Structure 1
Amino acid sequence: MSRLSLLVDLASLLAREVDFDALLRTACERLAAALSADRATIWLVDGETGDLHTRVALLPELPGLRQPIDRGIAGYVARTGEVVRLDDARADERFDPSADRATGYTTRTVLVAPIREEEGSPVRGVVQVLNKDDGPFDVEDERYLAALATQLGRALRMTTLRGGGAPGVILRGPFNRIVGRGDALAKVYERVTLAAQTDATVLLRGETGTGKGLFARAIHVNSARQSKPFITVDCTTLPSQLVESELFGHERGAFTGADRRVPGKVELADGGTLFLDELGELPLEAQGKLLRFLQDRVFERVGGRSTIGADVRIVCATNKDLERAVRRGEFREDLYYRVRVVEIAIPPLRDRGPEEIEDLARHFADSYAARYGRPEPELTPAALARLRSHSFPGNVRELEHWIESAVALAPDGRIVPDLFPQISRIVDSTPPAAGNDDNSVSVPLGLSLDVAQRRYVEATVRACDGNKSEAAKRLGVGRNSIGRWLKE
C-alpha cells in the first residue's frame, strides 16, 4: 500500500462501525509496511486516567501495554506535542527500556509523532515506529508520519473515541458509533465479534430504540463482506402486495406498471449483507419465499422463470415476541428456527445503568454541538440527575432526541433540566375501574404532538400483543401508518 492510499484508507474506515482494536491493528501493520519499519504502535492518551495505553500494538509478546504519561519517548511526545526522531534510542535519556525488558525486543531507531487535529490542539495519542529496515528514519519519514498522525487525529474526532478540550480520548465502547462499556453490553459485543467472523444468520432482538440497526452494521463492517453492499429492508413499510417484488425484484410486464426489470433487495445485496429490520412484521405469504431463499440461496423474480442464486448474508432484527407469533400462527415456525442461528439480545437502556445514560448523553451532546455549531456542551449536575432518574421507555433513541433538543435550545452550550421535556404525568382524578389498568396510558406533559402520538400508538400495539394489523383496525388507520409512527 502506498503512503498516500494509507491516509485515505484509514480516514474512510474510521467513518464506520468498525472494531477499534481491529482497525488500529490494521493501521499499525500498514504503517510499518509503508515506512519499512519493523513494527508500529499507536498509543492513546486515556482521557480519564492520563495514562498512555495501546488498544492494539504490533507486539506479539504482549496483547497490550500501559504506561504513565511521564515515562518514555512516547510519554514525552504526548506531553509536549513534539515529533521525535532518534538514530540511537538507547543513547537518549528519554528512552524507557521497560517495554524492551518486558518483551525481549531491542529498540534501535525511533520515530514518534503526536496524534492531534492540528498544531496546538490537545494531543489524543502518539504514533510510534521502530527499527527501520535500511537504517535510520529520515526527514521525509518524519514529515509523512506527522501528516498521518494529524489525519488520524481529525478522523478520531468523527468517532466515539473523540475527546473534548482536554488531552486524550474517552473509550466509550469497542465499536465505533456504539457507546457502552458496562456489563450489560459485554456479551453483546462478544457475540457481535464472533458472529462477524462467520456467515451465520443473525437475529437481533430488543425493544424499539435500542440500536439494533447499529449492531447489524457492526456485524457487516467487521466481517469479510465489509467492502460489499449493506442493504436494509424495513419490513414495517412494505405493502403486503409488493413484498415479494421488493425482496426479489420483478420482470418487465409482471404486473400493471412494471415497465422494466427491477432487481430486488436480495439481488442488490449479492456478496454483502441483507438486513431485515422488524422481521416479525413480514406478511405470512412472503415468509415462505424468504424461507426458501435461506435454505437454498436461490429465488425467482416476480413474473420470471429463471432461478437466480445470490451470495447474501442475512441479519434480522425484531422487537416482537416471535415465540408468541408462532403460537398464534402469525410467524412460520420453520422460518423462526432458520433466522435464529445466532441470537443476540440487545438490552434496554434502563438495564444498562445510570453511568451509561450519562456516557450516551455526553456522546450525543458532543455530536449535536458539532453539528449545530454550538460551544462545547456542559451537562449540569441537575441535568445529569434528571437523565439518571428517567426510565427512557423509548431507549437510546428517546435519550438522543432529548439531548438534541437541549443542545439546539442552549446557545451557550450549558444544558440544564428546563431544556428537557417535562416528565410530570397526566393524572385522571377518576379512580380506574377494576381490571382496566391495561386499557389506559399515561403521557408526560411537554411532549410534542408527534411524540405523544407515537407513545399512544406504541401502547395500542402493546395492548394488541404486538399485532400491528389489529392495532391499525382499532385506531382506524392503515397498517403501514403504524409502522411509520413507530419508526419516527
Structure 2
Amino acid sequence: MSLVLIIDDDHQLCTSFSKLLLQEGYSTATAFSGTEGIEQAHIVNPDLIVLDIRLPDMSGIEVFEVLHAHYPKLPVIIITAFGNTETAIGAIQKGAYDFIYKPFDVPEMLQLVEKAIITGRCMSSLVEVNPGPENYSGREALVGSSRQMLEVYKAIGRVSSTNATVLIRGESGTGKELASRAIYNYSDRVDLPFMVVNCVAIPETLLESELFGYEKGTFTGATHRRLGKIEQARGGTVFLDEVGDMPLSIQAKLLRLLQENSIERLGGKEPIDVDVRIIAATNRDLEKAVREGKFREDLYYRLRVVSITMPPLRERKDDINILVTYLLARLTKEMAITSPGITSEAIAKLSRYDWPGNIRELSNTLKKTLIFNRGAPILAEDISFPSIIRPHDATGPAIAKTIQAWIRHVLKSGEHERSYDFCLDHIASVIIQEGLSMTKGNRSQAAKILGISRPTLHAKMEKYGIDQAVEQDD
C-alpha cells in the first residue's frame, strides 16, 4: 500500500484529504509544519509527499530543497495559490513532480497522485536482469533463460550506457516497461528523473500539453505557465508508452525533439533546449501504421535507433517454470503469506496454455489461485482460464462464434471506413462497461479488475463516450 505524506498547516484539509486517499486505497501521514514534515519523511518513508507552499515555520520550497537533497527520487506535489505559480514552477525545475492549486479539483488531484506514485516507483525501484532464485522476492526483475530473453538481456546491456533512443516492441503484458526501467537503471542517467507518459491513457487534447507544457493564456483556462514532462525530465529519461497511438500532430513535435534536442511549449515562440533520452514502447505494427499514413516514417526511423523485441510468453514456454517460481516469490511477499508451492501437474497445465495476456496474465492467474487455495499447494485443478478461450469448452466457442458473426456483419455492411478499429473499439467499450457495472460504477475497483490504471480507464471512458454519471467513487 502506497503511503502519502501530507505537509500542510490546514488541519481540516489534511483530515479531509487523508480520508479521500484512504478511500482510494492509500495510507497517509500528516504534518502541520515544515520541521515536522521533514521529521515525518525520515520516519514513515513515504511514496509521495503533498506539500503546501506556505507553512508557519519555513517555506514549502525550503522544505522541498531539504527533502530533495535527502530523497532525490521521491515525488513531491506542491500545493499552491495562484500568486505562487512562478515559485511552484521554480520548484519543478529543481525536481518537484508537479503543482496544483488550492482548493484543488478532487478527480484531478487523484489522477496526479496516482501518476506521481507510479513515476516515483519507476525511478526508485531497481529492475534486475535475470537474478538468481535467492533474489526473486527482492527487486522486480526480468527473468528467463530462453534464447529470446538472452538476446533481450544482451541488448539492454549494450544500449544502457549509451544515449541512443530505444524502441521496445512486444505484445501487452510482455514486460516492456520493465525493460525500459532496466535500461534506465543501468544508464549514466540513473540519478536523474525518469518520466513515464502513457500516450493512450491521456486524451489527445491533453497529451500535447502533458509532454511539452504551455504558456499562460494559450487557451481558455491556461491561467499560468506549465512545464511538460519532457522539460521536467531535463538530463534524465522519458519513457513514452504506447507511442504507436500518438496522434500525428504530436508526432511532428516529438520528431523535432529527437532531431534538434529542443521543444516549444504550447503558445511559446522560443525553442527551449532540453537534454533527455527517449525510450518508447508499442504493441502496434508500426510498419503497417507507416504504410497507412498513421505514423510518420521519419519519426519511425528516429525512434528505432535501437529496437528491442519482448517475446510473447507462448514463444518462450521453457521459461514458465522459472517465471512461476519468481512470481510466486513476489506475490506471496506482497500478500504476506508463505509460498504454498506448486505441483508439476499444475506447471504442465500452465505450460499448455497460450497466454494471450502474457506474463501479466500469468501473474494474475497465480494471484487468483493464491487467494482461493488457502495455503495448500497449487494443484492443476486450482488453475482456471477465461472461458472464452478455454480449450474443449462449449461456452468459449459459442461466445467466439457470436463475436465472429457480429464482426462479419460489420465487414459485409461496408458502413464503416475503419471497420477494424470500429470492431476493436466496440468490444473494448463493452469490456469497460462490464467492469464498471460489476463494481457499481466504482472506477478504482473497475480499473483493478480490468488490469489497467485509473487514468487509462478515464481516457477510454471519454474515448468511447461512456456515461460519467455511473461513477460513484468521486
| Maintained 8 Å contact 1:267/1:310 | yes
Aligned to 1:339: 303
| Maintained 8 Å contact 2:313/2:358 | yes
Cα deviation, 1:187-241, whole Å, max 9, x if unaligned, reads 1111111110210111111111100000000111101001111111101112111
| Maintained 8 Å contact 2:200/2:246 | yes
Aligned to 2:230: 266
The equivalent position to 1:369 in structure 2, one of 332, 335, 353, is: 332
Aligned to 1:185: 149
What is the TM-score when the length of structure 1 is the normalising length?
A: 0.56
Report how far residue 321 of structure 1 moved: 0.5
Aligned to 2:65: none
What is the TM-score when the length of structure 2 is the normalising length?
A: 0.58
Aligned to 2:355: 392
SS at match of 1:285: helix
Report how far residue 385 of structure 1 moved: 1.6
Q: Which runs of 5+ in 2 are unaligned?
A: 1-70, 72-120, 409-417, 436-446, 454-474
CA distance in 2, matches of 1:295, 1:477: 41
User: Which is helix-richer, 1 or 2?
Assistant: 2
Aligned to 2:316: 352
The equivalent position to 2:424 in structure 1, one of 471, 478, 487, is: 471
Aligned-residue RMSD, C-alpha: 3.6
The AA in structure 1 aligned to 2:336 is G
CA distance in 1, matches of 2:329, 2:400: 45
The AA in structure 2 aligned to 1:372 is M
| Maintained 8 Å contact 2:230/2:238 | yes
SS at match of 1:231: strand
Report how far residue 372 of structure 1 moved: 1.4
Report how far residue 420 of structure 1 moved: 2.2
The AA in structure 2 aligned to 1:317 is A
Report how far residue 282 of structure 1 moved: 0.2
CA distance in 2, matches of 1:362, 1:380: 11
1:46-445 matches, within 5 Å, as 156=135, 158-159=137-138, 177-353=141-317, 355-422=318-385, 423-424=390-391, 425=393, 426=395, 439=407
Structure number with greater Rg is: 1
Report how far residue 276 of structure 1 moved: 0.5
The AA in structure 1 aligned to 2:380 is P
Aligned to 2:127: 17
CA distance in 2, matches of 1:257, 1:190: 48
SS at match of 2:155: helix
| Maintained 8 Å contact 1:372/1:408 | no
| Maintained 8 Å contact 2:234/2:275 | yes
| Maintained 8 Å contact 1:18/1:222 | no
CA distance in 2, matches of 1:190, 1:304: 42
Distance 1:348 1:438, change over 3 A: farther
The AA in structure 2 aligned to 1:388 is S
Distance 1:420 1:270, change over 3 A: same
Identity %: 37
Aligned length: 305
